[in-house]
Chains A and B, each alone.
Chain A
Amino acid sequence: NAGVTQTPKFQVLKTGQSMTLQCAQDMNHNSMYWYRQDPGMGLRLIYYSASEGTTDKGEVPNGYNVSRLNKREFSLRLESAAPSQTSVYFCASSELGSSPLHFGNGTRLTVT
């Protein structure tokens, strides 16, 4: 069991470039999430998908879009990267909305 798998592990972008972060889970979980983690700040929710076919904004959605491709996969897209989006991005999944989260190992993104 791989759990939650994120790709890529590291990425460097120039301002204005676009990219998609990929996330897949093999636990048959219904709900998936994207968080960002910055020094001195707690994990902050960007977007979440309560179930296949639905997505909703979290605390910090500006500059991002998401796609719930199927039950397993949930991608995060940066259309025009900005230095403020330099962060570590974590994907997570849970069986239900109130269940504990299972996290991937993150994508470390630097925007120059």
Chain B
Amino acid sequence: EDQVTQSPEALRLQEGESSSLNCSYTVSGLRGLFWYRQDPGKGPEFLFTLYSAGEEKEKERLKATLTKKESFLHITAPKPEDSATYLCAVQAGNTGFQKLVFGTGTRLLVSP
């Protein structure tokens, strides 16, 4: 069974304090790994897609990396506006269509 585990469940950082969020996965052939950001009361917003081990993507203070077993979302010098829940999802290669398996997310709070 395809599974996604995110850690930590919650993370509190001071502004400027860099850290990483983890997404561990077990899947029957990875077709893609997705990172989304979700603000309270809103729907998830797409950040990155990673397809193969060794791949990296960057956007502002965020950098996503991928290995064969996990992905990391690195946050460099975070600001309060980076506070949100970050969701990871995987698409298995053996599915005929996009059936994503989502993790439960990491709630990030960045204090000024």
CB neighbours of A4 from chain B (8 A): 43
Number of A-B contacts (CB under 8 A): 59
In the complex, are the beta carbons of B43 and A94 less than 8 A apart?
no
Among A11-19, A41-49, A69-77, A78-86, which stretch is in contact with chain B? Answer: A41-49
CB neighbours of B105 from chain A (8 A): 42
Q: Of all chain A residues, which has the CB nearest B104?
A: A42
Q: Is the interface of A mostly helix, strand, loop or mixed?
A: loop
In the complex, are the beta carbons of B98 and A90 less than 8 A apart?
no
CB neighbours of A53 from chain B (8 A): none
In the complex, are the beta carbons of A98 and B104 less than 8 A apart?
no
Among B11-19, B44-52, B58-66, B73-81, which stretch is in contact with chain A? Answer: B44-52
CB neighbours of B32 from chain A (8 A): 98
CB neighbours of B104 from chain A (8 A): 40-42
Select A45's contact among B45, B49, B87, B100, beta carbons within 8 Å: B100
Interface string of A1-42 (1 = CB under 8 A from B): 000100000000000000000000000000100000000111
CB neighbours of B36 from chain A (8 A): 101
Interface string of B27-47 (1 = CB under 8 A from A): 000011010100001111110
In the complex, are the beta carbons of B100 and A101 less than 8 A apart?
yes
CB neighbours of B46 from chain A (8 A): 100-102
Q: Is the interface of B mostly helix, strand, loop or mixed?
A: strand
Q: How many angstroms between the C-alpha atoms of A24 and B31 in the bound complex?
A: 28
Chain B CB within 10 Å — which of A4, A56, A98 has the most?
A98
Q: How many angstroms between the C-alpha atoms of A50 and B102 in the bound complex?
A: 19
Is the CB of B69 closer than 8 A to any CB of chain A? no
Within 8 A of A (CB), among B75-105: 87, 89, 91, 97-105
Q: How many angstroms between the C-alpha atoms of A109 and B8 in the bound complex?
A: 28
In the complex, are the beta carbons of A100 and B103 less than 8 A apart?
no
CB neighbours of B98 from chain A (8 A): 31, 48, 94, 97-99, 101
Is the CB of B108 closer than 8 A to any CB of chain A? no
Given A48-B98, A99-B98, output 4 extra A-B contacts at Cβ < 8 Å.
Answer: A42-B104, A43-B89, A94-B98, A102-B46
